Amino acid sequence: MNHANTTTTIDLEVYRYRPELETEPTFDTFTVPLRSDWVILDALNYIKDEIDGTLSYRWSCQMGVCGSCGMMANGEPILTCASFLKNYAPGPIRVEPLANFPVARDLIISMDDFMEKLNRIKPWIIVEEEKPLEEGEYLQTPEQLDEYKQFSMCINCMLCYSACPIYGMEPSFIGPAALALAQRYNLDSRDHGNQQRLDILSTDDGIWQCTFVGECSEVCPENVDPAGAIQQYKVASTNDWWKSKLMPWGNKK
Amino acid sequence: MPHQTSLKTVKRSNEPFWWALFSAGGVIAALCVPVLLFMTGLAIPLGWMDAPGYEAMYTLFENPLSRLVILVIVSLSAFHWAHRFRFTLYDGLHLKHLNAPVAFFCYGCAILFSAYAAYSLYSF
């Protein structure tokens, strides 16, 4: 390990908001060692352990799987466990809570809105009737798996919501991750919930708020393509709409 | 699990109507307009291609099918513009509160423009 690296430092300007102390958020500047193997999350852990134990933030796995350490670094939504300090050298790095969400404390956002929306799109496999156990598993070919696999990689980190300018202006918009997850189940050969989800997603708060800015797909750490999912969904919803207008007898169940 | 249907409680958006025109317009504009621009704006004026004579053009547009093709290209492109401009005004200028007038203006322009194109081609 390069010793010169451990002696250099970098400044972090960290967003602070302690509702019992202050009505407006402030920024605290902390100086941390600039180690070449450190990510922003390491720097935050260093601050909490060595400088200010009151700093609050979410994290868990430290390996880009759990999706809990998403924050804004210099205005970009990122996973702090996957963003090396050296890429921001010489700094400073401005660390803020994810944009477009209400802040509960310091770097912690309230994710109630996202959880409610996620639930609304029915992110589970819907079957008309459960098969009896003796009929065995619901089999799927590798090709059928490939249809939806990309959209199943979402880790609910909500970076896409922070990047989405539409969600910033229209909080009622269901938003990228939830729409991509809806498509993950729609494209699953075992699922029969397409029509139920279409009824929810074809509203004004669903896919039709999206203007295909595409930032959601840019920032996604798992290379999910929510923007692509929404466009696919627009085509499906448009076909369904024209069918229901031109052949109103066709869709009755 | 009981089959739930929320068709009656949920209001489906009518956006697909405009979006279908927008998307058709995008496709047709992307396919046809560069070719037309290249031919009429570059190739013919710069002499890379011989200009079709008046007689040839006249014969081409005597066929109602040619005029219909032009009308479809012009009209769908106009609706593509209208949809895009509507969201530019909404989101870019934060005019969401003027939802109805903005939509009326944008799509109204596209409809008027299409009607004018239809009239011109009809009375050709």
**Taking the domains of chain A in order of start, what are their residue ranges?**
3-109, 112-246
What is the rounded CA–CA span in Å between residue B45 and residue B36? 13
User: Is the residue at B11 inside a domain?
Assistant: no
- If you count them, how many residues does chain B have? 124
Domain A112-246 has CATH 1.10.1060.10: yes
A170 touches chain B (CB under 8 A): yes
pLDDT at B5: 42
Q: Quick one: DSSP state of residue A65? A: S
Return the higher-pLDDT residue of B3 and A117.
Answer: A117
The domain defined by A3-109 folds into Ubiquitin-like (UB roll) (3.10.20)
Question: Which residue in the set B6, B20, B91 is minimally distant from A166, CB to CB?
Answer: B91
In degrees rounded to 5, what are phi and psi of residue A220?
-60, 120
Instruction: Answer yes or no: do B13 and A204 touch at CB < 8 A.
Output: yes
Chain A, 173 to 212: residues with Cβ < 8 Å from chain B are 195-196, 199-200, 202-204, 206, 208, 211
Q: Which residues of A touch B23 (CB under 8 A)?
A: 234-235, 238
User: pLDDT category, B75, cuts 50, 70, 90?
Assistant: very high
pLDDT reported for residue A200? 85
Cβ neighbour number for residue A215 with a 10 Å cutoff: 18
Residues of chain B contacting A131 with CB distance shorter than 8 Å:
none
pLDDT for A131 equals 87
Contact B16/A126, CB-based, under 8 Å?
no
Closest CA to A157 of A78, A234, A50: A78
Q: Determine which helix (DSSP H) or strand (DSSP E) holds A241, and give its type and residue range.
A: helix A226-246
Domain A3-109 identical in fold to domain A112-246 = no
So what's the pLDDT on residue B1?
38
CA distance B96 to chain A (A): 10
Angle, helix A142-149 to helix A176-186, in steps of 10 degrees: 170
> Contact A202/B13, CB-based, under 8 Å?
yes
Question: Is position B8 within any domain?
Answer: no
Say which range, A224-233, B17-26, B67-76, B84-93, has the weakest mean pLDDT: B84-93
**Structure tokens of A246?**
């031109």
Preceding omega of A142 cis (within 30 degrees of 0)? no
CA nearest to B15 within chain A: A208
3-state helix, strand, coil in chain B (%, to 5): 75, 0, 25
Chain centroid to CA A9: how far? Answer: 31
Instruction: Write out chain A's pLDDT in tens, 253 residues.
Output: 444 444 699 999 999 999 999 999 999 999 999 999 999 999 999 999 999 999 999 999 999 999 999 999 999 999 999 999 999 988 899 999 999 999 999 999 999 999 999 999 999 999 988 889 999 889 999 999 999 999 999 999 999 999 999 999 989 999 999 999 999 999 999 999 988 898 888 888 889 989 899 999 999 999 999 999 999 989 988 988 888 888 877 654 4
Q: How far is B35 from chain A (nearest CA, A)?
A: 26
Domain residue limits at B88: 17-43+53-122
Residue in chain A nearest B18 by alpha carbon:
A238
| Domain CATH for B103 | 1.20.1300.10
Establish if A234 touches chain B: CB-CB under 8 angstroms.
yes
CB–CB contact A199 B12 (8 Å): yes
- Supply the pLDDT for residue B91: 82
**Number of domain units in chain B:** 1
